[in-house]
């Protein structure tokens, strides 16, 4: 059971690094045309899209210029990894 939880927490950590890479690449226009951004976009967009669609149902988030979907995903992944470690 320990190895399963360790693997899950490790995969979540790698996914969080990929999310960070996507966020940094999105700030620099030169990196938006790179293979790293394409790879990060391919891995993260299927998870971020439903969160973004849910948030855009609310007028507050629709009018806000900041996309909070990545922040919510970070918080959710942190909660999942903490709960996994708690239940070993």
What is the pLDDT at residue 23? 92
Domain that holds residue 47: 2-86
How many CB atoms lie under 10 A from the CB of residue 86?
A: 8
Q: What is the mean pLDDT of residues 39-65?
A: 94
Band (32; pLDDT cuts 50, 70, 90): confident
Q: What is the average per-residue pLDDT within 45-56?
A: 96
Structurally, the chain folds into a number of domains equal to 1
How far is the C-alpha of 69 from the C-alpha of 44, rounded, in Å?
A: 11
Model pLDDT for residues 59-72, shown as the tens digit of each residue? 998 898 988 999 99
Q: What percent of the chain stands above pLDDT 70?
A: 100
């Amino acid at each position: 059971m320990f190895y399963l939880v360790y693997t899950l927490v490790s995969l979540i950590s790698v996914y969080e690094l990929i999310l960070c890479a996507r966020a940094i690449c999105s700030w620099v226009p030169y990196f938006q045309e790179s293979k790293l951004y394409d790879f990060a976009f391919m891995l993260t967009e299927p998870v971020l899209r439903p969160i973004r669609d849910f948030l855009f149902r609310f007028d507050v988030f629709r009018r806000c210029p900041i996309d909070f979907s990545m922040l919510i995903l970070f918080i959710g992944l942190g909660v999942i990894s903490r709960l996994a470690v708690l239940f070993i």
